[in-house]
């Protein structure tokens, strides 16, 4: 049962996942409901309102029940907490598919795109005038890594022959490893991996094309720029906070302060703050800036490949066929590697592009290598 900070470490992730699962539909654009492309004329269709309400109540009930169950998880049972999170995600996914299938059925039955001019709009100036990568915001993460290295170098000569390398949630050491440079600095390698992964994927995202609304192309592009700028900075802040969490864990391993349930709880604070920052940006702006209101000022330097000639009848192309389950984008004709997600906040890969699979292979290989190194400390 809940007794101290260690129990909170187990409970809080479940609660946050449950909350995010409930609010995801509110973060996506009105014309993208449960991964289904919707023409603007149909965003108030009864089936959409019904399925949004049903999804909210279903996932809300699941979140309450599973979070309550997590409150009774014995301290130290991190695996059981992880299983509850997976159960919550799977149940939420089931609610998503149920709503999605019902919306698709009505969309097809009523021929929502009949008589509408389907258009693809793009910002042709994006390659020559992309949003600038916020490299200055990468400095905090690099500073935390550098601080970790310095502390590790200073502490290394004083470390015992056997180092604690794994702790339970309540701070109990349950595995030791012989002292070595690899053992002592494994968490530094993890910091480098996390920072490089976030920065690398973010850099690719900055070079990817924006999601453009054919009916309001200039404004939607500028909203996307605002979203990308805020989310980019937020993700780099998250990288720094994850590195800070790893630094605090390293402090326990290096005996800067002794392992304890309080120390474990304190170490999770930075990463939780980072996740809250990302969630706050998503709630404030919506996916790709969809929650931002007001039309943007025209930008003469940004020419659009195609502008709507008949407002109200020109809509984004119905591209559902390229989205598997509304979650995975597979389009061999699209040269983009990174595209905006349809459900949730952020971006995903175009799995129809071979370079996307190269990226997946590189990331998987790095994860496996890091796991082997850390696992054999």
Q: What is the pLDDT of residues 154-190, one digit of tens each?
A: 988 888 777 766 666 555 666 667 777 887 888 899 9
- How many CA within 13 A on the CB side of residue 158? 9
pLDDT tier for residue 302 given thresholds of 50, 70 and 90: very low
pLDDT at 373: 66
Give the C-alpha separation, 118 to 106, whole Å.
Answer: 19
Residue 257 CB contacts under 8 Å (≥ 6 apart), including other chains: 251, 263
Average confidence score pLDDT of the chain: 83
Average pLDDT over residues 19-36: 91
Q: What length is written for the chain?
A: 377
**Once rounded to an integer, what is the mean pLDDT over residues 271-296?**
84
Which tokens go with 49? 């309102």
User: What are the DSSP calls for 148-173, one per residue?
Assistant: HHHHHHHHGGGS-SEEEEEE-TTS-E
pLDDT of residue 311: 45
The predicted structure's pLDDT at residue 306: 38
Angle between helices 78-109 and 5-27 (to 10 degrees): 10
Radius of gyration of the chain (CA): 23
Residues 328 and 172: their CA atoms lie apart, in Å, by 41
The distance between the two most distant Cα atoms of the chain, rounded to a whole number of Å, is 76
3-class secondary structure, 298: coil
pLDDT, residue 257, reads: 78
CB neighbourhood size of 42 (10 A): 20
Beta bridge partners of 314: 117
Average pLDDT over residues 93-112: 95
- Give the sign of the dihedral formed by CA 104, CA 108, CA 110, CA 112: positive
pLDDT for residue 77:
63
Task: Write the pLDDT tens digit of every residue in 108-146.
Answer: 999 999 888 888 877 777 777 778 899 999 999 999 999
Q: Which residues pair with 36 in a beta bridge?
A: 33
């Amino acid at each position: 049962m809940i007794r101290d900070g260690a129990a909170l470490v187990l409970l809080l992730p479940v609660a946050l996942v449950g909350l995010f699962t409930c609010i995801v539909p509110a973060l996506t654009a009105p014309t993208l409901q449960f991964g289904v492309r919707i023409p603007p004329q149909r965003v108030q269709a009864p089936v959409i309102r019904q399925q949004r309400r049903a999804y909210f109540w279903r996932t809300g009930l699941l979140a309450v029940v599973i979070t309550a169950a997590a409150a009774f998880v014995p301290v130290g049972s991190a695996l059981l907490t992880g299983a509850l999170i997976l159960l919550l995600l799977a149940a939420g996914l089931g609610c998503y598919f149920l709503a999605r299938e019902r919306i698709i059925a009505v969309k097809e039955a009523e021929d929502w795109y009949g008589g509408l001019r389907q258009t693809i709009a793009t910002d042709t100036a994006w390659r020559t005038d992309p949003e600038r990568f916020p490299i200055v915001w990468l400095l905090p993460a690099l500073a935390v890594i550098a601080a970790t290295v310095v502390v590790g170098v200073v502490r290394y000569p004083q470390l015992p022959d056997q180092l604690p390398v794994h702790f339970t949630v309540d701070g109990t050491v349950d595995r030791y490893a012989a002292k070595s440079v690899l053992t002592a600095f494994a968490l530094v390698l993890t910091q480098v991996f996390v920072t490089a992964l976030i920065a690398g994927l973010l850099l690719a995202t900055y070079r990817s094309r924006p999601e453009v609304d054919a009916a309001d192309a200039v404004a939607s592009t500028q909203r996307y720029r605002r979203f990308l700028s805020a989310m980019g900075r937020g993700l780099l802040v998250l990288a720094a906070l994850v590195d800070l969490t790893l630094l605090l864990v390293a402090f326990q391993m290096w005996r800067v302060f002794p392992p304890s349930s309080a120390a474990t709880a304190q170490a999770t604070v930075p990463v939780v703050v980072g996740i809250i920052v990302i969630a706050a940006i998503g709630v404030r702006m919506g996916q790709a800036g969809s929650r931002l209101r007001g039309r943007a000022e025209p930008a003469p330097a940004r020419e659009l490949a195609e502008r709507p000639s008949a407002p109200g009848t020109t809509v984004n192309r119905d591209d559902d066929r390229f989205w598997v389950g509304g979650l995975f984008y597979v389009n061999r004709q699209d040269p983009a590697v990174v595209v905006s997600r349809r459900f949730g906040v952020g971006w995903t890969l175009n799995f129809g592009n071979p370079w996307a699979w190269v990226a997946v292979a590189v990331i998987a290989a790095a994860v496996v290598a890091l796991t082997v190194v850390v696992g054999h400390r």
